[in-house]
């Protein structure tokens, strides 16, 4: 078994490897999205802290809806869409349609993800639909831009899954914009089931399906896993996509049989996703490393979300209790995706920085050793990031279930600390790694 930190620089993850250099956008494209996502996680912590009283009692309170959107848009959508601008060209082996459009997407998304939560929390009310329309411009542009790499017909399951997940992102935002106008015009009552249709489309159809699809490429690559078959991954992608297609209209139109069918299909898909993780771990040729501690902790939150979601659907409880269970389920899904994003960021950012350093001629550290991916961030703070992040999400979940605003607030503060450590570590790591090193005069390829 190879130790990942000392292994030769394999070309993984959304980072350009041989043959991929000419298809990926400049490092500043994915890195700007990922840096903004770090600010999003810090903002999520603060928003949860400030809204803690209402998180446990009134999930539709403006401050809570605001905090939710800082989490799903400013943190998760920003990170995942940014990573896709790097990953899709690598996996589809075709470049984006336009690097300039990617930069416009970033600016429009950045405006949306901060204006929308502010509109929810503080008004004025017109800010909500305005920010929503800005978000629609951003994701429409991203879908057009990604459509070239995602039109590859030899990209396998990841490409198929990503085509669907980007379509679900567009649908989520269109729902959101309609609801945003409806808050002013009152076209229809914005009942909980309707809001939940939009919420599950975004969390499972967009974010969940993207992660499950991308994982089918990343996990075998990171673990050098040679599985006898990748069927469970294909099943996961197919079942989640099919399940979301039933669950959304089932919730929207309040048709329980459709919602239940959708939930069961999504649950089966998520189980297949976990089986796929277990299979990659079993057939690995590399040692487990920090990333896998992130993945296992993240997977524990997924199992928790599934259990709480099932309890919310099955148990005969008061409407207040059901509301609390649904809030806890949403929090657990955000924790599942959030820790996965943080773990993968400790791989993706160093890989992108590595390529950027090499193009500037840096191939060795100051003591003459070949530069490795693992040199580009400090490992102890990365472990602390996982510990504090895991603690923060656990506290938020526990606080919601125990109706304790104090515990939720502590969890929020922990998330802001987590984001700060991760951003400082990943941003300063490359500079530390080559401090005092001489760049090659003849620049590296």
**Rounded distance between C-alpha atoms, residue 234 and residue 236, angstroms:** 5
| Residue from 54, 85, 163, 198 in contact with ligand HEM (CB under 6 A) | 198
Does 203 interact with ligand HEM (rule: CB under 6 A)?
A: yes
* DSSP codes, 194-222: HHHHHHHIIIIIIIIHHHHHHHHHHHHHH
Strand partners of residue 2: 286
Q: Which stretch binds ligand HEM (CB under 6 A): 41-49, 173-181, 210-218, 279-287?
A: 173-181
Helical ranges in 224-318 per DSSP H = 231-252, 256-282, 290-314
Which range of residues in 22-30, 32-40, 67-75, 397-405 is near ligand HEM by CB under 6 A?
Answer: 67-75
List 43, 155, 202, 429, residue binding ligand HEM (CB under 6 A): 202
Instruction: Identify which of residues 157 and 334 has a Cβ nearer to ligand HEM in the complex.
Output: 334
For ligand HEM, the closer of residues 23 and 201 by Cβ is: 201
Which region among 2-10, 39-47, 177-185, 397-405 touches ligand HEM (by CB under 6 A)?
A: 177-185
Phi, psi (deg, nearest 5) at residue 388: -70, -40
Q: Three-state secondary structure along 347-368?
A: HHHHHHHHHHHHHCCCCECCCC
Within 360-436, where are the H helices? 379-401, 405-434
Subset of residues 319 to 358 that bind ligand HEM, contact rule: CB under 6 A: 330
Q: How many residues bind ligand HEM (CB under 6 A)?
A: 29
Number of separate helices (H) and strands (E) present in the chain = 15, 0
Is residue 60 part of the contact set for ligand HEM (CB under 6 A)?
yes
d(CA 409, CA 87): 35
The radius of gyration of the chain's CA atoms, rounded to the nearest angstrom, is 21
Site map (CB under 6 A) of ligand HEM, residues 207-236, x = contact = x-----------------------------
Task: Find the binder of ligand HEM among 12, 25, 89, 176 (CB under 6 A).
Answer: 176
- Interaction site with ligand HEM (CB under 6 A): 59-60, 64-65, 68-69, 72-73, 77, 112, 116, 132, 135, 172-173, 176-177, 179-180, 183, 190, 195, 198-199, 202-203, 206-207, 330
């Amino acid at each position: 078994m190879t130790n990942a930190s000392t292994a030769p620089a394999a070309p993984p993850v959304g980072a350009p490897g041989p043959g991929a250099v000419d298809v990926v956008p400049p490092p500043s494209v994915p890195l700007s999205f990922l840096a903004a996502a770090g600010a999003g996680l810090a903002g999520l912590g603060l928003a949860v802290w400030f809204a803690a009283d209402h998180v446990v009692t009134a999930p539709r309170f403006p401050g809570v809806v605001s905090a939710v959107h800082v989490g799903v848009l400013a943190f998760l959508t920003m990170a995942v869409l940014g990573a896709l601008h790097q990953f899709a060209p690598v996996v589809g082996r075709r470049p984006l349609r336009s690097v300039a459009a990617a930069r416009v997407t970033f600016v429009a998304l950045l405006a949306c993800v901060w204006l929308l939560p502010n509109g929810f929390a503080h008004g004025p009310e017109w800010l909500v639909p305005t920010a929503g329309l800005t978000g629609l411009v951003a994701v429409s542009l991203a879908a057009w831009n990604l459509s070239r790499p995602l039109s590859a017909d030899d990209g396998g399951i990841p490409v198929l899954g990503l085509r669907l997940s980007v379509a679900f992102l567009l649908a989520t935002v269109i729902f959101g914009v309609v609801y945003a106008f409806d808050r002013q015009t009152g076209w229809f009552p914005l009942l909980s089931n309707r809001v939940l249709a939009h919420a599950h489309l975004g969390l499972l159809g967009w974010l969940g399906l993207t992660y499950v699809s991308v994982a089918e490429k990343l996990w075998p690559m990171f673990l050098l896993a040679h599985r006898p078959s990748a069927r469970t991954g294909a099943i996961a992608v197919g079942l989640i996509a099919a399940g979301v297609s039933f669950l959304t209209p089932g919730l929207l139109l309040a048709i329980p049989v459709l919602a239940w069918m959708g939930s069961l299909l999504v649950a089966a898909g998520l189980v297949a996703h976990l089986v796929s993780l277990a299979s990659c771990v079993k057939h690995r040729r590399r040692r487990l490393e920090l990333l896998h501690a992130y993945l296992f902790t993240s997977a524990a939150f997924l199992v928790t979300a599934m259990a709480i979601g099932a309890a919310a659907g099955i148990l005969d409880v008061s409407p207040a209790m059901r509301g609390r269970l649904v809030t806890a389920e949403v929090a657990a899904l955000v924790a599942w995706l959030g820790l996965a994003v943080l773990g993968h960021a400790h791989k993706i950012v160093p890989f992108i920085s590595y390529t950027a350093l090499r193009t500037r001629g840096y191939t060795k550290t100051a003591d003459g050793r070949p530069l490795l991916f693992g040199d580009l961030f400090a490992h102890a703070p990365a472990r602390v990031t996982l510990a504090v992040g895991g603690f923060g999400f656990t506290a938020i979940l526990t606080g919601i279930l125990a109706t304790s605003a104090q515990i939720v607030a502590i969890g929020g503060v922990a998330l802001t600390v987590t984001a700060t450590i991760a951003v400082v570590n990943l941003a300063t790591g490359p500079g530390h790694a080559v401090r005092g090193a001489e760049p090659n005069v003849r620049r590296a390829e």
